[in-house]
Structure 1
Amino acid sequence: MIFFTLEHILTHISFSIISIVITIYLMTLLVHEIVGLADSSEKGMLVTFFCITGLLVTRWIFSGHLPLSNLYESFMFLSWSFSIIQMVPYFSNHKNNLSAITAPSAIFTQGFATSGLLTEMHQSTILVPALQSQWLMMHVSMMILSYAALLCGSLLSVALLVKILYVNERINFLQNTSFLLFRNYHRHQLIQQLDRWSYRVISLGFIFLTIGILSGAVWANEAWGSYWSWDPKETWAFITWTIFAIYLHTRTNKNLQGTNSAIVASIGFLIIWVCYFGVNLLGVGLHSYGSFTLTSN
């Protein structure tokens, strides 16, 4: 009971702080004169990270296994992963706008996890035999970390496309004045920053995804006697890996960088959600442990 109460408190604290962080970012977009709001949002994400960490550790202690056995736990881990991505540049003293992506992503995933749709999964349960393996931590954690990084990178690419379209539209309507050139210079810098951060985050996510797929193949061979069986989850994981491999390939060609690579990453955003969440909605295949169908039985 104590563990459940502590988990409940930490969930609501982290959810509330993320909501405040998003409000702060909306204020900074409208009122640039307020000093210290950006630092407050960064500290808010830091507190959120520790709250979700405490929540996951509490659930780990109570259940006796890494909290990655169902859809609710994976969504909470995904929210924690978004916070992790935010913390990396924060501790390296690199100024960035990642919180504009990670904060809404974290509140969306955590809000869905704590909604009534996943109520039956809120209670910790004993792992099914197939999940009682040392590969659970390696495979599932790497996959969810890759989803978080790839989703953030893809959203940065979407923002990049929107910014490019906006700049091109402004150039078509206005003449080349010195003031316009000055503003376009700063927009060009922002576009380069978005492109650079998108590439870095997606590259990190691609590494996690590769490790997750390889470790999953080894685990599948131990559990089911086959490294690869073209299960729906495996198939969509392969499609996801292929899409972002194409993205990384386009980055090596200067003629395909920018808009073309951003379009590929934007497509990858939809593919990730199909792989991560869409397959679970169907409740089919060997990876159906966390689906709605199983939890309603």
Structure 2
Amino acid sequence: MMQQLLFGILIAYVAGAILYFVGNKTENTQVLKFASIAVAIGGVFNLLLLLYRWNLTGRPPLSSGSDFLLCFSFVTIVMYMVYELKSKDKKAGGVIMVFAFLFILSIFVLMANQLNNAGPVMPALKSPWLTVHVMTAVLAYAAFALAAGFSARNIIKKNDTTNGEKIYHIVAWGFAMLSLSIVLGAIWAEQIWGSYWSWDPKETWALITWIIYALYLHLHRNRNWQGKRANIIVLAGFILVLFTFFGVNFLMSGMHSYA
């Protein structure tokens, strides 16, 4: 059941990406309509899989890498669909759907064994701080993915600057969520390990990511740091977000390795 739902999500998201690219290239509104439908179907499958995992394990689907990616992709899609419905702008849909497709594909490639794991979790993951810490991280990452999609679209379109303020507000909201996630994680760490900060690889790279986005927000009003430079910083921040998750989890040992 879970494998079938995951495969359905993958197909829907890649179909959505292709239809968005084709529809925007040809300016065909009917194709773009089908793209939105494909994304909505994928989002429903994504939600069903999260609910299935919750029912199977008896706990919120937040304690493994595959759970996080399912939440990450779902929240990213929901944020994008809300934006699309409000603005009627579908120009960045293809890039954002490529992100969502790659998140789901990475579960197939790297974490397929986690989907069927419904056993008990280690004591550190039973803390109520886990839910608020991980959910704020999901919200932050999804906002950064959305901003990166718009920035990538700007670069593809030769540094279109028409949505610079929109990207700024999305990053600012994501930055607030990331800051909250770091604070909540520190409280959780103190309760579990007796220290608010231990320079664990995940903590260190989360801090580096925070600094990059803080730099972007600080430089936003500077005319010399708008347009191409601003888009590059947003994309660099999102690359750090991905490294903080994938690179640290799979390449570095630390207290977060269980994720």
TM-score under structure 2 length normalisation = 0.91
How far did residue 30 of structure 1 move? 4.2
Partner of 2:84 in structure 1? 90
Kindly indicate whether residue 245 of structure 2 is the aligned counterpart of residue 252 of structure 1.
no
Partner of 1:142 in structure 2? 136
Instruction: Please list every run of 5 or more consecutive structure 1 residues that lacks an aligned counterpart in the other structure.
Output: 166-190, 291-297
- CA distances 1:225-248 after superposition (whole Å, capped 9, x unpaired): 111111111010000000000001
Name the CA shift for 1:231/1:35 in 2 (closer, same or farther; >3 Å): closer
Residue 45 of structure 2 aligns with an amino acid whose one-letter code is: C
Partner of 2:38 in structure 1? 44
Name the CA shift for 1:200/1:44 in 2 (closer, same or farther; >3 Å): farther
Contact preservation (8 Å) 1:210, 1:241: yes
Identity %: 29
Q: Secondary structure at the match of 2:223?
A: coil
Q: Secondary structure at the match of 1:235?
A: helix
How far did residue 128 of structure 1 move? 0.7
RMSD over equivalenced CA pairs, Å: 2.0
- Paired with 1:231 and 1:20, the residues of 2 have a C-alpha distance of 39
Kindly indicate whether residue 155 of structure 2 is the aligned counterpart of residue 161 of structure 1.
yes
Kindly indicate whether residue 67 of structure 2 is the aligned counterpart of residue 73 of structure 1.
yes
- Paired with 1:203 and 1:98, the residues of 2 have a C-alpha distance of 19
How far did residue 96 of structure 1 move? 3.8
Partner of 1:287 in structure 2? 256
Kindly indicate whether residue 11 of structure 2 is the aligned counterpart of residue 16 of structure 1.
yes
Partner of 1:206 in structure 2? 175
Name the CA shift for 1:97/1:243 in 2 (closer, same or farther; >3 Å): same
- Paired with 1:241 and 1:287, the residues of 2 have a C-alpha distance of 18
Q: Secondary structure at the match of 1:229?
A: coil
Partner of 2:146 in structure 1? 152
- CA distances 1:67-111 after superposition (whole Å, capped 9, x unpaired): 122222222222112212212213435424232222111111101
- Paired with 2:53 and 2:247, the residues of 1 have a C-alpha distance of 26
Quick one: which of 178, 201, 205 aligns to 1:236?
205
Residue 114 of structure 2 aligns with an amino acid whose one-letter code is: M
- Paired with 2:252 and 2:205, the residues of 1 have a C-alpha distance of 14
Quick one: which of 22, 25, 28 aligns to 2:23?
28
How far did residue 200 of structure 1 move? 2.8
- Paired with 2:212 and 2:181, the residues of 1 have a C-alpha distance of 16
Q: Secondary structure at the match of 2:203?
A: helix
Give runs of ≥4 in structure 1 deviating > 3 Å.
161-165
- Paired with 1:92 and 1:66, the residues of 2 have a C-alpha distance of 30
Residue 48 of structure 2 aligns with an amino acid whose one-letter code is: G
Residue 135 of structure 2 aligns with an amino acid whose one-letter code is: S
Residue 159 of structure 1 aligns with an amino acid whose one-letter code is: R
- Structure 1 range deviating more: 199-208 or 219-228: 199-208
- Paired with 1:283 and 1:259, the residues of 2 have a C-alpha distance of 32
- Paired with 1:212 and 1:24, the residues of 2 have a C-alpha distance of 35
- CA distances 1:128-154 after superposition (whole Å, capped 9, x unpaired): 100101111111121122122213313
- Paired with 1:99 and 1:35, the residues of 2 have a C-alpha distance of 13
Name the CA shift for 1:246/1:142 in 2 (closer, same or farther; >3 Å): same
Contact preservation (8 Å) 2:23, 2:29: no
- Paired with 2:176 and 2:183, the residues of 1 have a C-alpha distance of 11
| Structure whose alpha-carbon radius of gyration is higher | 1
- Paired with 2:112 and 2:47, the residues of 1 have a C-alpha distance of 21
Partner of 1:101 in structure 2? 95
Contact preservation (8 Å) 1:250, 1:260: no
Partner of 2:52 in structure 1? 58
Name the CA shift for 1:103/1:70 in 2 (closer, same or farther; >3 Å): same
- Paired with 1:133 and 1:22, the residues of 2 have a C-alpha distance of 38
Contact preservation (8 Å) 1:251, 1:261: yes
Residue 203 of structure 1 aligns with an amino acid whose one-letter code is: A
Partner of 1:183 in structure 2? none
Contact preservation (8 Å) 1:11, 1:52: yes
Quick one: which of 179, 182, 195 aligns to 2:164?
195
Q: Secondary structure at the match of 1:92?
A: helix
Name the CA shift for 1:250/1:76 in 2 (closer, same or farther; >3 Å): same
Instruction: Please list every run of 5 or more consecutive structure 2 residues that lacks an aligned counterpart in the other structure.
Output: none
- Paired with 1:23 and 1:100, the residues of 2 have a C-alpha distance of 7
Partner of 2:191 in structure 1? 222
